[in-house]
Structure 1
Amino acid sequence: MDTLVLLPSFIKFFGKAKNHSSSPANLAIVFLAFVINLAFALSLLCFIVMHSSLVSSNTTSIEVYEKKRTVRWKYDLGRKKNFEQVFGTNKALWFFPLFSKEDLDSIPALHGLDFPTC
């Protein structure tokens, strides 16, 4: 989000640099802020993509290496069930680290002792 906010200033940066109408310190600050924000945004995007694929396949980052040796991962229940095991079935609680009473009763994996297999 910060990168999008800084984008107009970054575009003006090239016009001011060409005309030498701004101080070098201001130009350097705008340039560095944009580049650092862009690098941070891209790294976060990579983490989001990686963890989304882990949730959709019902694996952890360590289990990815174990999964390479098997034909079909036995804990992969399908994208919808995998997502519900992590986030629960109540859509209102998806952005909070909470589970509803119904989820605790109906999803055995939440207790950490029994994990359903396909």
Structure 2
Amino acid sequence: MDHSESPGHLAVVFLAFVLNLAFALSLLCFVVMHASLLSSNTPTVEVHEKRGAIRWKYDLGRKKNFEQVFGTKKALWLLPLFSKEDLDNVPALRGLEFPTLLDTDA
């Protein structure tokens, strides 16, 4: 008898498929949520604080928000590294100063 086509084996494969699909969908939801938070320069904790506000004061635009998190060097985006130029030019990377919308307008 071929064990690969037994009802028990098919049930295990189906259950594994359903669990993997649920896990993949939940991870996709987290990726989408954090991408939207990144684009508005909002930490997860402060999502409820900014509701009702006209514009979040730390939202500098999608490009600047992305650079504050990943730096400006495309080669280093997937590595947990920042270039010397980025550390000198993007103060938010040092974690001590955070530019606001008012700073960029002035």
- TM-score in terms of structure 2 length: 0.88
> In angstroms, what is the RMSD of aligned CA positions?
1.2
- Report the count of equivalent residues: 98
Unpaired runs of 5+ residues, structure 2, are: 102-106
Q: Structure 2 counterpart of 1:25, which letter?
A: G
Determine the structure 2 residue equivalent to 1:100: 83
Q: CA deviation at 1:110?
A: 1.2
Answer with 1 or 2: which has the greater Rg: 1
Q: Deviations over 1:9-47 (max 9, x none)?
A: xxxxxxxxxxxx921111111101110110010000000
Unpaired runs of 5+ residues, structure 1, are: 1-20
For residues 64 and 97 of structure 2, what CA distance do their matches in structure 1 show? 15
For residues 46 and 90 of structure 1, what CA distance do their matches in structure 2 show? 27
Identity %: 76
- TM-score in terms of structure 1 length: 0.79
For residues 96 and 21 of structure 2, what CA distance do their matches in structure 1 show? 42
